[in-house]
Chain A
Amino acid sequence: MLRSTSHNLKNGIAYCSMVLNRRCLATVTPSKLGFYDMTSDTATEVTDDMFDIMRSASRKDDVFGNDPSVNELEHYVAKLFGHEASLFCASGTMTNQLGLRALLTQPPHSVLCDAQSHINLYECGGLAYHSQASVTAVTATNGVYLTADDVDANRVLEDVHNASTKVIALENTLNGAIMPMEEMQRIHTLARNENIKLHLDGARIWNASQATGIPLADYGQLFDTVSVCVSKGIGAPIGSLIIGSKEMIRKARHLRKLMGGGWRQAGLLAKIAQHCIDTVIPTMPETHRLTKKLATGLEGSGIRILLPVDTNMIFIDTAPLPMQELADALQKKRNILISAEDNGTITRLVLHHQIDESAVEGFVQVASDLIKEKGISFPTTPSRPKVDVSKAYPSIQH
């Protein structure tokens, strides 16, 4: 499915056609420290050239709202997503919680979201704390993403006993897997019919957009508020943005001060974030290709892949080989870091623009050698779940 250049982009970067045009991909720069951190894409390293860019930023006070570099970034990102305004903050937790708080005006109220979502599991109970909201955590029937049916079956209705659903919060990508646009549209329609607001945790929406070819604005316009990270795969040192209407963002700015997020000379951080958005996003298709290459390689050795590999994450199960043994071998032989729980056999691998082909090939080699050395034989159950988005997005090659 060919999509023409998105008209929403300022610098004429053809996000969509990048998917099929491998030659234009920016270089994937290997880690200067000499190790490859695949525990998360938050591990993207700061490079020397970033400081010269930071130096060129404006140096005004963002609490006063008059810093040009910050205002430029906020305007740029808002337009990318087809919204009026945005707010640059210290973290994704902050932007998620701000977006939700701005939508959740008065208890009793609840938020419906995927049981595996970041806002449910990894934000220190923020929904209860910041918004006094209950959470309806739904386990996706298909094991990968929420469907409109899942949402409809689980939303809490208005009743004197209830904290009715006031916000549906989706996450895309979630565990690296893409939520299909049709499903998002169905959920959008349902929400609008029932007067429910919509928030997107789009920490990795950039990856989804690069993989599917769908412009960011098409995703953006389905939601009242969108939270997007720049410190993950995009590679900026710090930050995240919350996007919405002027009124929403005005409220969010006030709430941000309340949460202690009113920072001063943040221009330097905004400038480097904008630079990274422009230069790193085009490298994402290459990262996705390497991720698939790694998944295929590991699968070839018998390791099970637990979720669809749509973007930059792989969930693997190495049972009966303990994950710690694989982690040790990878670190010793190739300086590759992966996370391993004690006595666990499941982990998440995350790639980003600073992971190169040689790291991937090395990983596959180390895993294969270790398996042979230990004489491991794997169970023969099929590894991929049934959900496969490639039919919706022919550009994604499995």
Chain B
Amino acid sequence: MLVRRSIARSFSTSSATRLYIQNNLNNDQTHPSLQTNPGAKVYDFRSDTVTAPTDEMFEIMKAASRGDDVFQEDRSVKELEEYVANLCGHEAALFCASGTMTNQLGLRTHLSNPPHSVVCDARSHVFLWEAGGIAFHSRASVSPVICRNGIHVTAEEIEGNLIEADIHTAPTRVVSLENTLSGLVMPIDEIRKISELARSRGLAMHLDGARLWNAHMQSGVPMHEYGAQFDSMSLCLSKGVGAPVGSILVGNHGFIDRARHLRKLFGGGWRQVGPLAAVAKHCIEHVVPTMPETHKLAKYLADQLTSLGVQLQVPVHTNMVLIDTTSVGLDVQKDLIPTLLSKNIVIGGQRNKSRIVLHHQVDRKGVDTLIEGVREAIATHQANEPSEPPAQQQAIASAY
């Protein structure tokens, strides 16, 4: 109903420092000095998407079914979809080539009637890293919310940014949350509050749960409890879960049927996918339980780095360590990356920020080598510029 009235909406945009946590994933093209030891193992800390298939996975693939998924005739795909749907307390699921695809399909299926918009955390993957997908696929606007506590958006902040129907507006239609976001776990209580709010306003709830597995293992909250708060969830299988390819969207039957049709439109209608589905299911069952170990290793890494004087951009909840090297005077590209590359360690980042991501294929040795590399880089830098004054502290809160 379009009503002309004055709306008190708290605009959350502010002149904050750059929000993109630039990962600069193409580092190895900008540094020709990669791999001085071609035979030695390379540790890639840029993302958990680098989890590689193991030899054993090919046996699992061989044993899978070989039907055609466009015609929904494949047993292994059906098994995976049913398994994940049940796990999440949803009716159905759709196995797709990527998390971008499952996120965009989820949103697109909710967004049927422009003008409309999505409200989400300003750091969200769906907003920053999906090549403008929300505008392109759904012709929707985005209300990006900058969270004041630096960890997660709150129900109050979401409510303050909802856009109501008015002749001038693109009203909010979907609330899209992300858990984990930058490795941070969003508390289930806050999610419940937001879900209640959204449902009371007739809004759809979508979750970018690319790393929900990590949140679940860290918080102990069952997958179906998260599932109950959302109309749709997108869960990645090729990140920390370790499968070679894929992501899965869950929702109710009608929703998934429409998403399946849209998937074909997106070019995601693939054929003999049974082997990929079988290996994804295997990975959920065997790799997800190893996540607490990975989280412990991340905390260990964080502790060691902070003891060297490096700071953290955000706390470490799961498998990511976001560092800020201002206090030790290092430029990531100039000072840190070359040193690490010589030790066969790859990280991303620019200026004084970097995101380090661990997964089940990273061992303690790799982490210790990384720590050693950072120590070396700091020492080298101090040797070259001993008179540099200590850098300013930059608390997250002051940015907002």
- Contact call A262/B238, Cβ cutoff below 8 A: no
Say whether B131 contacts A258, CB under 8 Å: yes
Query: Chain A contacts of B47 at CB under 8 A?
Result: 61
A237 sits at the interface (CB 8 A): yes
A308-338 contacts to B, CB under 8 A, are: none
| Contact across chains for A263 and B98 when beta carbons are under 8 A apart | yes
- For the complex, what is the distance from the CA of A45 to the CA of B271, rounded to whole Å? 10
Pick from B46, B50, B130, B273 the residue with the most CB of A within 10 Å: B50
Give the distance in Å from the alpha carbon of A33 to the alpha carbon of B238 in the complex: 30
Bound CA span A123–B266, Å: 9
Q: Which residues of B contact A65 (CB under 8 A)?
A: 26
Contact indicator B62/A51 (Cβ below 8 Å): yes
Knowing A257-B100, A260-B105, A262-B100 touch, does A268 contact B244 (C-beta < 8 A)? yes
Chain A contacts of B46 at CB under 8 A? 64
A260 lies within 8 A of B102 (CB): yes
Chain B residues with CB under 8 A of A129? 265
B270 contacts the other chain (CB 8 A): yes
Interface residues on chain A, size class: 35 or more
From A98, A231, A260, B97 is in contact (CB under 8 Å) with: A260
A-chain residues with CB within 8 Å of residue B238 when the two chains form the complex:
263-265
Name A52's contact: one of B58, B104, B130, B269 (CB within 8 Å).
B58
Answer whether residue A82 sits at the interface, using C-beta atoms and an 8 A cutoff: no
Give A59 to B58 CA distance when docked, in angstroms.
12
Q: Which residues of B contact A61 (CB under 8 A)?
A: 47, 49-50
A91 x B267 contact (CB < 8 A): yes
A166 to B28, CA, bound (A): 38
Query: Which of B53, B102, B131, B267 touches A90 (beta carbons < 8 Å)?
Result: B267
Q: Which of B103, B244, B261 contacts A124 (CB 8 A)?
A: B261
* A136 close to B (CB within 8 Å): no
Q: For residue B58, which residues in chain A have a CB less than 8 angstroms away from its CB?
A: 51-52, 54-55, 268
B132 contacts partner chain A, Cβ-Cβ < 8 Å: yes
Q: Which residue of A lies closest to B66 (CB)?
A: A46
9 nearest A-B residue pairs (beta carbon):
A260-B101, A94-B267, A265-B244, A124-B265, A237-B272, A258-B131, A59-B52, A51-B62, A55-B58
Contact residues in B for A266 (Cβ distance below 8 Å): 244-245
Q: Tell me the B116-175 residues at the A interface (CB within 8 Å).
A: 130-133, 136
Q: Quick one: which of B267-292 are within 8 Å of A by CB?
A: 267-276
A40 CB to closest chain B CB (Å) equals 8
Answer whether A42 and B271 are a contact pair too, CB < 8 Å, given A55-B55, A258-B136, A268-B53. Answer: yes
* Docked complex: A45-95 residues within 8 A CB-CB of B: 45-46, 48, 51-52, 54-55, 59-61, 63-66, 89-91, 93-95
Whether A262 and B98, one on each chain, are in contact in the complex, defined by CB atoms closer than 8 angstroms, is: yes
For chain B, the count of residues having a C-beta within 8 Å of the partner chain is 51
Contact A124 B101 (CB under 8 A): no
Contact of A64 among B25, B267, B269 (CB under 8 A): B25
Residues of B within 8 A of A344 (CB): none
Question: CA of A261 to CA of B131 in the docked complex: distance in angstroms?
Answer: 12
**Given A51-B59, A64-B26, A259:B270 Cβ within 8 A:** no
Chain A interface mostly: loop
A125 within 8 A of B: yes
Q: Please, how many angstroms separate the alpha-carbon atoms of A95 and B55 in the complex?
A: 30
Q: Is the CB of B59 within 8 A of A93?
A: no
Nearest chain A CB to B25's CB is how many angstroms away?
A: 6
On chain A, the residues within 8 Å of B199 by CB distance are none
Indicate if A190 sits at the interface (CB-CB under 8 A). no
> Is B273 touching A238 in the complex (CB atoms < 8 A)?
yes
13 A-B pairs whose Cβ atoms sit less than 8 Å apart in the complex: A51-B275, A52-B58, A55-B58, A93-B267, A257-B100, A258-B100, A260-B100, A260-B101, A261-B268, A262-B97, A264-B49, A264-B98, A269-B245
Distance between B291 CB and nearest chain A CB, rounded to angstroms: 18
Determine how close the nearest CB of chain B comes to the CB of A233; give it in whole angstroms.
12
In the complex, what's the smallest C-beta–C-beta distance from B178 to chain A, in angstroms?
Answer: 17
The tally of CB-CB contacts under 8 A between chains A and B is 142
Residues of B within 8 A of A (CB): 25-26, 28, 46-47, 49-53, 55, 58-59, 61-62, 66, 68, 70, 96-98, 100-105, 130-133, 136, 238, 244-246, 261-262, 264-276
B131 contacts A237, C-beta separation under 8 Å? no
| A269 to B274 Cα, complex, angstroms | 13
CB distance from B357 to the nearest CB of A (A): 12
In the complex the two chains form, is A265's CB within 8 Å of B245's CB? yes
Residues of chain A within 8 A (CB-CB) of B26 are 64-65
**Chain A nearest CB: distance from B104 CB in Å?**
6
Contact at B269–A263, with CB atoms within 8 Å? Answer: no
The reply to whether A254 and B131 form a contact with Cβ atoms under 8 Å apart is: yes
Q: Which residues of A are found within 8 Å of B55, using beta-carbon distances?
A: 55
Q: Are B268 and A91 interface neighbours, CB within 8 A?
A: yes
Q: Could you tell me if B49 and A63 are in contact, using CB atoms closer than 8 angstroms?
A: yes
In the complex, whether A220 has a CB less than 8 A from a CB of chain B is: no
Chain A contacts for B261, CB-based, 8 A: 124
B70 to chain A, nearest CB (A): 7
Residue in chain A with minimal CB distance to B46: A64
Chain B hits for A265, CB < 8 A: 51-53, 238, 244-245
| Contact A125/B265 with A90-B270, A254-B131, A265-B53 known, Cβ cut-off 8 Å | yes
Q: With the chains together, A78 CA to B70 CA distance in Å?
A: 27
Asked if B52 contacts A93 (CB within 8 A), the reply is no
Question: Could you tell me the distance in whole angstroms from the C-beta of B275 to the nearest C-beta in chain A?
Answer: 7
Query: In the complex, A269 Cα to B238 Cα: how many Å?
Result: 15
- Docked complex Cα distance between A31 and B125 (Å): 44
CB-based contact A238/B265 at 8 Å: no
Contacts of A91 in B (CB 8 A): 267-271
Report which of A59, A259, A261 forms a contact with B244, defined as CB distance below 8 A: A59
A48 CB contacts on chain B under 8 angstroms: 62
With A45-B66, A90-B269 known, 19 other A-B pairs at CB within 8 A are A46-B66, A51-B59, A51-B61, A51-B62, A59-B244, A64-B46, A66-B28, A93-B269, A94-B268, A124-B261, A125-B265, A129-B265, A231-B270, A258-B132, A260-B105, A262-B97, A263-B245, A264-B50, A266-B245
- Interface presence of A97 (CB below 8 A): yes
